[in-house]
Amino acid sequence: MTTSSHSAQVHAGQAMYQPWTLPLYDLVAFKFNCRYLFRVPVSEVVAMFDRNVSPNHLDVGVGTGYFLDNCRTAPEQSITLADLNEHSLRHAARRLAPRFDVSTVRANALEPLPLPEASFGSASVNFLLHCVPGTIREKARVLDHVAACVRPGGRLFGATVLTKGVPVGPAARASFAAWNWRGVMHNSEDSLDDLRAELAARFPRHTLSVHGCAALFEAEVP
């Protein structure tokens, strides 16, 4: 797939995040989709943040900032939010600013991030990869770009929704077909085996767990 077509798909995938849709995002994504379609308990994702977030954290693909706002071991110092969508950045920054020192940067995670290398203690790419176009091998460039911003020994973690090698219910399969057709998701060929292989190639120390059709991964940056 050409760079230009990837770019068009990236922009199409984030276009749904608008000022009038973001207030409903938590309800739809976490109260309905996670519970009834993906079959992943939101509490498991929050616990993953609890285990891994450092006092100097980078969040890539920010959504609404829900998990940083709800995790118990949130950073005491600073959070950097990186996303291509300016509406998501503003929404999440407003939500988190009362508690944290928040900075934002517009960035396409398929390209090197405009941030200093090895400058964060942790980074999250939560529910991002299934929205990124390409194969798992191509999407794994996101992991490379984010890991480059994390200090050796720091943590990189996240979740993604798969369609192969995991249990996918009929309602989820129908929803994925529609969302892939619309360009909201790009996970029609995303498999657990491919994700496992790409993680293993980059992170000698990592864990991967499956909850419904969602995979949660946690890694130490070498």
Average pLDDT of span 145-150: 98
Task: Please tell me the predicted confidence (pLDDT) of residue 77.
Answer: 83
Cα–Cα distances in angstroms (integers) from residue 5 to residues 8, 78, 136, in the given order? 5, 35, 17
Q: Tell me how far apart the 2 most distant CA atoms of the chain are, in Å.
A: 44
pLDDT digits (tens, 9 = 90+) for 154-182: 999 999 999 999 999 999 999 999 999 99
Domain definitions of the chain by residue range: 3-220
Question: How would residue 15 be classed by pLDDT, with cut points 50, 70 and 90?
Answer: low
Task: Please tell me the predicted confidence (pLDDT) of residue 19.
Answer: 63
Between CA 101 and CA 164 the distance in angstroms is: 39
Q: 2 pLDDT exceeds 50?
A: no
Q: Which residues contact 24 (CB under 8 A, 6 or more apart)?
A: none
In the chain, the amino acid numbered 28 is V
How does strand 120-126 pair with strand 206-211?
A: unpaired
pLDDT digits (tens, 9 = 90+) for 76-103: 789 999 999 999 999 999 999 988 999 9
The count of other CB atoms within 10 Å of the CB of residue 204 is: 9
Fold of the domain built from segment(s) 3-220: Rossmann fold (3.40.50)
Task: Please tell me the predicted confidence (pLDDT) of residue 17.
Answer: 64
Between CA 55 and CA 78 the distance in angstroms is: 6
What values do phi and psi take at 119, rounded to 5? -115, -5
pLDDT digits (tens, 9 = 90+) for 101-133: 999 999 999 999 999 999 999 999 999 999 999
Q: 59 pLDDT exceeds 70?
A: yes
Between CA 172 and CA 168 the distance in angstroms is: 6
Task: Please tell me the predicted confidence (pLDDT) of residue 33.
Answer: 96
Task: Please tell me the predicted confidence (pLDDT) of residue 13.
Answer: 46
